[in-house]
Amino acid sequence: MASPEGTTPVKRTRVGRQASAPPAHASTPGDSSLGKVVPSGGERGPAGASRPAATRFAALRREILSPSLSFLMEAHDGLSAKIVEEAGFRGIWASGLTISAALGLRDSNEASWTQVLDVLEYMADATTLPILVDGDTGHGNFNNVRRFVRKLCERGLAGVCLEDKLFPKTNSFIGEGQPLADIEEFCGRIKAGKDAQLDDDFVLVARVEALVSGLGMAEALRRAEAYRRAGADAILIHSKRSTAEEVLAFAREWANRAPLVIVPTMYYATPTELFRAAGISTVIWANHLLRAAIAAMRETAARILEDESPVRVEGRVASVQDIFRLVGNAELEQAERRYLPAKPTAGAIVLAAAGGEPGGMASGRPKCMVDIRGRSLLETLVGTLRESGLRAVTVVRGYGKEAVRLDGVRMVDNDRHAETGEAWSLACAREAIRGETVLAYGDVLFRRYVLDALLASGADAVLAVDASAPRPRRSSPSPPDLVLADRRFSGHFLDDAPAHLLRVANDLPPEEACGEWMGLARFSARGAAWLAEEIAALEAEGLLARADLPLLLTRLAARHPVQVLYFTGPCWLDVDTLGDLAEARNFG
């Protein structure tokens, strides 16, 4: 194809597509983010030799110039950027509309360019993907554009899209006949942006608004050609019609003189294959994550307001653990181990030796290995322990012990589980009763804040107690462990006087009980020594084999102060029956 008048011919990878030959670039001094690579950046050379991975600048240029159709997904903050990467997209559209909306502002340059830059920096730090920034009009004239582009490059933002409208901008879908910038003035903004870029692979996309403003196809083509000559790397042709006819007609006339980008917000029902056939370079899904979040937040807020409780939404929303995973808590823990002075950490003992599956199930698996949404009950419990910083976990197994397995957990066997009680199982793991120690039944689940409260307690021995009335057990084979303490739960938020254990037993009259033990306790190093001494005393008296934990704890409380920490609400679950198991699968 002949080059348009006044332009220099370029090499093509297919009709009208400029070849990509990105040079290798070092990171700008003082900005480590520029050295980040995209997951797909590495390439294999002859004989399998690995080539250096591309920078994010080169990665975006590769997407824009690729002979195949590329997709960019909208993000508006660091978390949504992580979600885009997790979904598998190869690039991000940092939408001006959704960034403004997430700040509670209109898409009319109400957020200053420095405020937008702050959000963009969080996004760049949160992901390895290349980001194309919705730069609106460039936040002013050529001088604002070149400063903005330099700041984007310094923060590792791979490209910017500038639209040929006046500052302050108005969203394209509001009103009719919006005035556009003078062509020569806008070309000056493009030239200033290209001259200011700090990396040769930085991508500048020129957005043509002529169709949106009702100026017609000829004006759209005239502007696009002028912007291409001014140095734009790609053209974004925008339309607010409900069909793609206008955009596809432009693509035919444009004939791939430069990569063509589209935003099918209004004509979303168009089959993607039509875009491929038209030679479109890149499709931007421009605002869907924020719109999805708004719908979900409205529904969740309405339900919690109606119920005066989050019970109905738990299990339907992302878990707190998912948030921790997305924001990289695991990396922080690794860094803490590397950079902070070593300090003793609490260990945990989980008693999981007794019994089979919850009542009504008959597959022969140990109860602790039943499935809870793709993970065993034991794995779910140990996961909560580890989230609170407990790394050394010992599990006492017995019934069906061959099936009780979990990576990174020390297993101890109680081969006399059929004829002994819980105290004997604990004695099997007595070597682990040293330093700060958490003790838990293997068939309970609890919210992490319960464990965190026990770990934060200054008491040498402390039990988690549900101050609510004992719940019906639905024919549970094990009656609740009721607690008698020297003070009942008052329910007053100013009442922080400690309560101390007098007795734990399953034969206490419910009206006398102060609550139910949740099968979770914590002992300081001193308290762990008391616990070991009491186990030895039971053994010396010949009582250890048949003793249960309520007896052990009651004896301990007769010799030493054992604090009771009260909790209320659905913060834990004892999995004994099929009904409990169903509830556990919604226990997020």
CATH number of the domain that residue 179 is part of? 3.20.20.60
pLDDT in tens, 136-151: 999 999 999 999 999 9
Indicate if the alpha-carbon torsion angle 569, 572, 575, 579 is positive or negative.
positive
The answer to whether residues 283 and 339 belong to one domain is no
Q: Decide if pLDDT at 586 tops 80.
A: no
Mean pLDDT for the stretch of residues 174-187:
84
The answer to whether residues 369 and 469 belong to one domain is yes
The answer to whether residues 329 and 270 belong to one domain is no
165 vs 548, higher pLDDT: 548
> Does the residue 136 lie in any domain?
yes
The answer to whether residues 430 and 560 belong to one domain is yes
The answer to whether residues 253 and 395 belong to one domain is no
- Domain ends where: 290, 312, 336? 290
377: helix, coil or strand?
A: helix
The answer to whether residues 202 and 153 belong to one domain is yes
Which of the four pLDDT bands, split at 50, 70 and 90, describes residue 588? low
Q: Decide if pLDDT at 434 tops 80.
A: yes
- Domain ends where: 240, 271, 290? 290
The answer to whether residues 408 and 531 belong to one domain is yes
Indicate if the alpha-carbon torsion angle 542, 544, 547, 550 is positive or negative.
positive
CATH number of the domain that 353 lies in?
Answer: 3.90.550.10
For the chain, give the percent of residues with pLDDT over 90: 65
> Does the residue 21 lie in any domain?
no
Q: Decide if pLDDT at 533 tops 80.
A: yes
Q: Cβ(165)–Cβ(115) under 8 Å?
A: no
> Does the residue 5 lie in any domain?
no
Q: Decide if pLDDT at 171 tops 90.
A: no
> Does the residue 40 lie in any domain?
no
The C-alpha atoms of residue 117 and residue 126 are separated, in whole angstroms, by 14
Mean pLDDT for the stretch of residues 422-443:
95
- The residue among 175, 105, 104, 97 whose CA lies nearest residue 136 is 97
pTM > 0.85: no
- DSSP collapsed to 3 states, 539-570: HHCCCHHHCCHHHHHHHHHHHCCCEEEEECCC
pLDDT in tens, 337-391: 788 776 667 899 999 997 665 554 545 678 888 888 788 899 999 999 998 888 8
Mean pLDDT for the stretch of residues 157-176:
80
For the chain, give the percent of residues with pLDDT over 70: 85
Return the DSSP state at 211: T
**DSSP bridge pairs for 445:** 573
The C-alpha atoms of residue 43 and residue 27 are separated, in whole angstroms, by 19
Among 155-169, 265-279, 295-309, 347-361, the minimum mean pLDDT is found in 347-361
Mean pLDDT for the stretch of residues 195-207:
97
Q: Which domain holds residue 536?
A: 320-584
> Does the residue 37 lie in any domain?
no
Average pLDDT, whole number, for the chain? 86
Mean pLDDT for the stretch of residues 278-302:
96
Which of the four pLDDT bands, split at 50, 70 and 90, describes residue 548? very high
Q: Cβ(151)–Cβ(178) under 8 Å?
A: no
pLDDT of residue 31: 37
Which of 53-57, 335-339, 474-478, 547-551 is modeled with the greatest confidence? 547-551
The answer to whether residues 241 and 377 belong to one domain is no
Which of 17-21, 411-415, 490-494 is modeled with the greatest confidence? 411-415
Q: Decide if pLDDT at 125 tops 80.
A: yes
Q: Per the residue annotation, which of 77, 107, 460, 576 is the catalytic one?
A: 107
pLDDT of residue 579: 74
Query: What distances in angstroms separate CA 520 from CA 450, 500, 567, 585, one per listed residue?
Result: 9, 15, 12, 20
- The residue among 239, 240, 235, 238 whose CA lies nearest residue 279 is 235
pLDDT of residue 308: 87
The answer to whether residues 268 and 352 belong to one domain is no
Burial readout 438-472 (b: 16 or more C-beta within 10 A, e: otherwise)? bbbbbbbbbbbebbebbeebebbbbbbbbbeeeee
Q: Which two tokens stand for residue 253?
A: 């006339």
- The residue among 320, 4, 261 whose CA lies nearest residue 134 is 261
The answer to whether residues 265 and 398 belong to one domain is no
Rounded to the nearest 10°, the torsion over CA 310, 311, 317, 323 is: 70
> Does the residue 2 lie in any domain?
no
- Domain ends where: 274, 290, 306? 290
Q: Decide if pLDDT at 587 tops 80.
A: no
Q: Decide if pLDDT at 44 tops 80.
A: no
394: helix, coil or strand?
A: strand
> Does the residue 60 lie in any domain?
yes
Counting the structural domains of the chain, the total is 2
The C-alpha atoms of residue 72 and residue 63 are separated, in whole angstroms, by 9
- DSSP collapsed to 3 states, 265-312: CCCCCCCHHHHHHCCCCEEEECCHHHHHHHHHHHHHHHHHHHHCCCCC
pLDDT in tens, 291-340: 999 999 999 999 999 988 888 888 788 888 888 889 988 888 788 778 87
517: helix, coil or strand?
A: strand
Q: Which two tokens stand for residue 359?
A: 């009542």
pLDDT of residue 96: 95
The answer to whether residues 251 and 389 belong to one domain is no
The C-alpha atoms of residue 365 and residue 113 are separated, in whole angstroms, by 60
Return the DSSP state at 29: T
The answer to whether residues 357 and 502 belong to one domain is yes
The C-alpha atoms of residue 258 and residue 249 are separated, in whole angstroms, by 16
pLDDT of residue 333: 79
Helix axes 525-540, 549-559, angle to 10 degrees: 110
94: helix, coil or strand?
A: strand
User: 165 φ, ψ to 5°?
Assistant: -120, 180
pLDDT in tens, 91-112: 999 999 999 999 999 888 899 9
107 belongs to the catalytic site: yes
> Does the residue 12 lie in any domain?
no
pLDDT of residue 42: 38
